[in-house]
Amino acid sequence: MRHLHHRIVLLGGTALVTGAALAIASCTHGNYDGSGYDGGIDTGITTDTGAEKVVLSRAVDITKDDVFSTPGGVFELTIPKGAYDAPVTITIVALADGFADSLIVPVFAVRVDKEPARPVQVVFRGNGNSGGDPNRPLFVAEASGGKFVPLPMASLPTNTGTGGTNGTYWGITKKLAQSFSLVYESTSGTTFIDVTPTSCLAKCCKSSVSGGSFNAAATSTGCACAGTADLGCFIDRCAGFDLATAAARCQEIGTNNPPISLKCVPFAYIDTAMPGPCPGPSCPGYQQGECNTIVGGSNTTPAVCCITSNDAGQHSGQCAGNNGGSSTVCGNAIRCDQHTLCPKGRCCVFENEAYCAETCPNDRWLCNDDTQCDAGVDSGACQTATFCPFKTCGTPPHDCQ
């Protein structure tokens, strides 16, 4: 049984003491306080192999969502029903402590002979690490290339400082047989709000920030999702949930879309006495709006022009993020227009959103006139999207018409 005291960690020649003020997890078995275990690990089935201890080992119950929780609940796995078609044994091993910068963090290895068919949830619980840089929070991480990197879907802490949501850090992965810990990573400049109704991020990432200015961010390895751990949401509300696709979408939107002001085209109503759509601000019922760049702390979140419509053909627009937050449901979520300088790719108009994409079909290009459209695509016509701030080389999305 080991006994570790507070440590002094040398980084760049500077001595940093990691004490209770930097607590990241605590448990009744071992009293993990972020600076070391006090009393070791207490479990009836453990076998001591020096630097590691088996803390839990049993077969998966394939008839339900099965939760594996270490003594004290510092580390937890949720194996959803359907992840395995036959019982397999999962063993959780506590390894020697690791470091997230100057913070001592727990490290656990999971041993299993077969990887799950569905994504699983990984959770670390404890006393949230308060203070520090809010743009560089802690993430649940996996071992990769000799270091720890955030899971492909990891929780984005959105409360004070770098703390987790109620002291909980979570992540989702399909690679279970590996080591897990916590790591710091910068998210500055990559946060965004996803309000596209078909997106898993919009359905399951719930912002807890005042005003709901963002609900997701890109990480170096995938996606950070705001809100509490909810694997069931991704599995139940996202038919055929593809973790890799969701992470890739987060990466593209989070890194490719710069903060800009967008011209919304909100219509309070359409004057039916007129021969066509309201032509400008002088027309009754026409209101021109603009989404201003959203700045929260040192994060800069790109604006979203949210175009909605009802069965009567009436359209309205609002700047998602300024109001509505992640509860907003957009008929069309617009992140870019003809004036957007995309860091990668081009502004592309999909059926219910527009954003800077690295690949874009010809009929989804933005245009000012027919010469900017490839011949043969909808006869090369540049078509007006009446209720959205752009024209398209192909037929505009339904909610833009």
DSSP string, 80-106: -TTS-SS--EEEEEE---EEETTEEE-
How much is the pLDDT for 214?
A: 80
Strand runs labelled E in 193-336: 216-218, 223-225, 262-264, 289-291, 294-296, 299-301, 304-309, 315-320, 332-334
pLDDT digits (tens, 9 = 90+) for 169-215: 999 999 999 999 999 988 766 788 888 878 899 889 987 554 456 88
Phi, psi of 286 (to 5 degrees): -95, 130
pLDDT digits (tens, 9 = 90+) for 218-248: 998 999 998 888 999 999 988 888 999 999 9
Cα-to-chain-centroid distance, residue 182 = 16
Q: CB count, 10 Å around CB of 308?
A: 17
Helix (H), strand (E) at residue 16:
strand 14-18
Phi, psi of 223 (to 5 degrees): -135, 145
Q: CB count, 10 Å around CB of 16?
A: 15
pLDDT beyond 60 at 128: no
CA-wise closest residue to 194 among 321, 298, 309, 292: 321
- Overall size of the chain counted in residues: 401
Which of 72-76, 253-257, 299-303, 386-390 has the highest mean predicted lDDT (pLDDT)?
A: 72-76
The three-state secondary structure class of 399 is helix
CA distances from residue 306 to 21, 118, 141, 322, 329 in whole angstroms, order as listed: 42, 33, 34, 11, 8
What is the β-pairing status of strands 223-225 and 153-155?
Answer: parallel
> What is the band of 157 on the pLDDT scale with cuts at 50, 70, 90?
confident
Report residue 342 as tokens: 């995309």
The three-state secondary structure class of 366 is strand
Task: Specify whether the CB–CB gap between 259 and 227 falls below 8 A.
Answer: no
Task: Specify whether the CB–CB gap between 65 and 82 falls below 8 A.
Answer: no
Cα-to-chain-centroid distance, residue 267 = 32
Least reliable range by pLDDT among 94-108, 125-139, 253-267, 329-343: 125-139
Task: Specify whether the CB–CB gap between 193 and 216 falls below 8 A.
Answer: yes
The three-state secondary structure class of 241 is coil
pLDDT beyond 80 at 18: no
